[in-house]
Homo-oligomer: A and B are copies of this chain.
Amino acid sequence: MYIDCLQYVAPSPQVFLQMREAQMDAVHITVGYHEDFAGVVQNLQTWNSWFERCPDLICRATSVKDIHDAKANGKTAILFGLQNPFPIGTNLAQIELLHNLGIRFCQVTYNQQSLLGAGCFESHDGGLTDFGREAITEMNRVGMVIDLSHASHQTCLDTIEWSKRPVTVTHANPKNWRDVPRNLKPDVIAALVEKGGMVGFSLYPHHLANGSDCSLADFANMVKGLMDTYGPNHFGIGSDLCQDQPDSVVQWMRNGTWKKDPDLSATFPAPPSWFKDNRDFPGLADGLTGAGIANRDTAGVLGDNWMRFFETAFEPL
């Protein structure tokens, strides 16, 4: 089972063919960064049109059964998620409605302060807000997977403690491997694993030691170290693949619409040579086994661990 638990690829038949070439069983796709609710609905409409146009390659998925069916039919299951809770607004009832629309992952915030909690780039880290606690409880109830990627340290700790269900960080790496705000301190990883959560390893260069020059062996050794410490069952891949997106997209991701003088200098970094698109996914196995990870645990990282987590994650309590 091959599962990538975070991509923001620009959809195209070419990309879907690459997913099939890699025999990707499921990919979690972001349908909202800075968009409001109407913008998310538009993105879902766009994906529906791709499902209609490419029915032999991809299909909409909202459950574990959908993923199994996709695999049986030789398709890649597309799961939806939000990197920003902004479409919830201040309305708790939006959470179930977004779940009704098929969205299965929702971040607590994207980099800055949200109404739910502080982000990893926000100056002050106040952790989870009062509304954040209400929202986490509601996400628990309806079966919306809580994603702590881009959240602050305290928001991660508060959420892991408050949530009644295991939570995820779909795309990040350990901060002691690459020290950037987006990566995770050991106490977050430990607390998340303790509660049955999942971390998806990011392959985005800014999250990798040595950036674009990171070797697969170095990445695999980092994975091996975490699996030795925390056991083999709590880790997967969330590559953060942003294939075929123009640099204007990363500038929009960084700046949104909230800065008077946005920094428009950002460009997408070159991907590591060993992960340029979905076709490189199966090859990750060579790196992981090369680092001494057992075949079964390598299969866990490449999809089986996410699948086990999904078994109980998407349904209402």
Which residues on A are within 8 Å of B, measured CB to CB?
34, 36, 86, 89-93, 112-115, 118, 121-124, 126-127, 129-131, 134-135, 137-138, 256-260
18 additional contacts, CB 8 Å, given A86-B90, A113-B126, A121-B130? A34-B90, A86-B89, A90-B257, A91-B257, A91-B258, A92-B257, A92-B260, A93-B257, A112-B130, A112-B131, A113-B113, A113-B130, A123-B129, A124-B127, A124-B129, A131-B258, A135-B258, A137-B260
Contacts A114-B115, A124-B129, A129-B124 given; indicate if A90 touches B258 (C-beta within 8 A): yes
| Nearest neighbor of A35 in chain B, beta-carbon distance | B90
The 8 Å CB contact of A260, one of B123, B138, B259, B260, is B138
In the complex, what's the smallest C-beta–C-beta distance from A18 to chain B, in angstroms? 33
Tell me whether A258 and B126 are in contact (CB under 8 A).
Answer: no
The 8 Å CB contact of A134, one of B91, B93, B124, B259, is B259
Tell me the dominant secondary structure on chain A's binding face: loop
- Please name 6 pairs of A and B residues whose Cβ atoms are closer than 8 Å in the assembled complex, sorted by A: A90-B256, A112-B130, A113-B113, A118-B126, A123-B130, A137-B260
Complex-state Cα separation, A258 to B115, whole angstroms: 10
Contacts A134-B259, A134-B260, A137-B260 given; indicate if A112 touches B129 (C-beta within 8 A): yes
Tell me whether A92 and B258 are in contact (CB under 8 A).
Answer: yes
In the complex, what's the smallest C-beta–C-beta distance from A185 to chain B, in angstroms? 20
In the complex, what's the smallest C-beta–C-beta distance from A119 to chain B, in angstroms? 9
Complex-state Cα separation, A112 to B126, whole angstroms: 13
Q: Inside 8 A of A259's CB, which chain B residues have their CB?
A: 92, 134
Complex-state Cα separation, A89 to B112, whole angstroms: 13
Q: Inside 8 A of A121's CB, which chain B residues have their CB?
A: 130
| Nearest neighbor of A113 in chain B, beta-carbon distance | B129
Q: Inside 8 A of A131's CB, which chain B residues have their CB?
A: 112-113, 258
Q: Inside 8 A of A86's CB, which chain B residues have their CB?
A: 89-90
Count chain B CB atoms within 10 A of each CB in A91, A137, A138, A260 and give the residue with the most.
Answer: A260
Complex-state Cα separation, A260 to B139, whole angstroms: 12
Complex-state Cα separation, A134 to B257, whole angstroms: 11
The 8 Å CB contact of A89, one of B36, B113, B127, B134, is B36
Q: Inside 8 A of A122's CB, which chain B residues have their CB?
A: 129-130
